[in-house]
Structure 1
Amino acid sequence: MDATDAIPQPPWRPSPEAEAETAEWRRTLTAGGAVQREATNRLYELLLRVSHSEVQRRAAAIRVAGPELDDLAHQAAGDAVIAVIRRLHEFRGESRFTTWACKFAMFEVSTKVGRHFWQHPTVPLEGPDWERLPDRLGISPEDASEDAELLAAVRDAVETQLSRRQRQVFLAVVVDGIPIDALALRMKSTRGALYKTVFDARRKLRVYLVTNGYLEADGRETR
């Protein structure tokens, strides 16, 4: 590790250009009349581009496309604009104003993608379907019968090695294929927290499989 890695980095300091940009957004978004309408429209167009990109990135998980995808993006952008204006007084200049504003668009996309899934679920919701496990773990149908012992060990590890929350999240995301956005909404959590839970669960399962001889340390099967 380089010696400078241990030195705390100073907080982000806005450039004169960034400060001028923030001041302009503050002024125009609160000016009233035609000035405020024009600034609101500019903000909407910015957040719509972000929302559309985010919805497209997550579209496969909820099987949405075409006009429906565009509608989700417009809804997210519109609600994000309202949130930005409502909370404009909270912005402390710790990032560029546009960076701060775009976070609202990403949050709204996540929420709306989650709601869309629960309104139009694309996977059965009756409970864990262990027959999906080989595919979720990247095991082909042809190999699944040969790997029956490994799959049985994974299932046993899920039941015995994971905490209740880890098991719940792992089964929902990995076995049932529920999108992270939808699960975050249902569990009142965040994408980041759920990703970490899945990561920790996978790590526990790997340790169990290696320790009990089902996998080598490099991930290859031993049986």
Structure 2
Amino acid sequence: MDVGDGPPAQDEPVTDPLTDTARWRSALTSGGAAQRSAEERLYRMLLGVARAEVRRRAPSLPFGGPELDDIAHQAAADAVIGVLRRLHEFRGESRFTTWAYTFAIFEVSAKVGRHFWRHPDLALEDYGWERLPDRLGITPEEASVADDLLTALREAIDTQLTRRQREVLLAVVVRGVPLDALAVARKTTRGALYKTLFDARRKLRGYLVTHHYLDDQEEVT
């Protein structure tokens, strides 16, 4: 099989997802030089996806530069392995490239999460309460008259939330820990963390409304 019969070049339009899938599948299982060429093309494609994803996440991360590019390379390499391992499971409901992209994005998420915790100054125990006004959108000028609200909010966090809700809320809202990183640290999923945050914010809102610190229409985060 000639390399030219493998997956389409990046500038070659393919309108039929089934044709696209068949060509990739054939090239990635052909063996020899043709398969190595297809794997290299897949790696380059997924590296572009991974780099775009780390750039998107960069503003919320405490590291950058070479570290982020290294994450992109690692993510692309592991994504290729994942695609090859699960190629037999792909049924062609979407484009092969769309399916493969999800592996790169998943690997970036996992690696960003693990990398985040290599920084010793990001331990969850240090919550940084002084950052709370800023995280709640309270300006320095407003903070001088918001002491009662903040005291009530801290009281609500301490007394109304479960331990899990409290730790997740403080990590994400006060510390600004990315959900991917927190998911890795807690060995859970982003979806589970979203649910925990939703429940915690609902409890805080209810407490502050009940105690007349907020109108019913106001938000606490």
With normalisation by structure 2, the TM-score equals 0.85
* Cα deviation code 1:151-201 (max 9, x no counterpart): 111111112222332112101111222221111101111223212322332
Aligned-residue offset at 1:204: 2.1
Distance apart, 1:45 and its partner CA: 1.7
1:95-140 deviation digits (Å, cap 9, x = unpaired):
3222221111111101111111111255454332222211111112
Aligned positions of 1:29-178 closer than 5 A: 29-121=28-120, 123=122, 125-178=124-177
Q: Distance in 2 between matches of 1:94 and 1:122?
A: 44
Residue 6 (structure 1) aligns with: none
Aligned partner of 1:10 in structure 2 is none
Report Cα offsets for 1:49-95 as digits up to 9, x if no partner. 11111111111222333222211111111111111101111223333
Which residue does 1:18 correspond to in 2?
17
User: Counterpart of 1:119 in 2: which secondary structure?
Assistant: coil
The question of whether the paired residues in 2 share the 8 Å contact of 1:51 and 1:76 is answered with yes
Amino acid at match of 1:74: H
| 2:202 aligned residue | 203
State the one-letter code of the partner of 2:141: E
CA distance in 1, matches of 2:210, 2:119: 41
Give the share of equivalent positions with the same residue, in percent.
Answer: 65
- Count of paired positions: 207
Change (3 A) 1:95 1:162: farther
Where does the alignment leave 5 or more consecutive residues of structure 1 unmatched?
1-15
Structure 1: which 4+ aligned runs deviate by more than 6 Å? none
One-letter code of the match for 1:136? Answer: R
Which runs of 5 or more structure 2 residues have no equivalent in the other structure? 1-14
Change (3 A) 1:122 1:39: farther
| Aligned match of 1:215 | 214
C-alpha RMSD of the superposition: 2.1
* Structure 1 counterpart SS, 2:16: helix
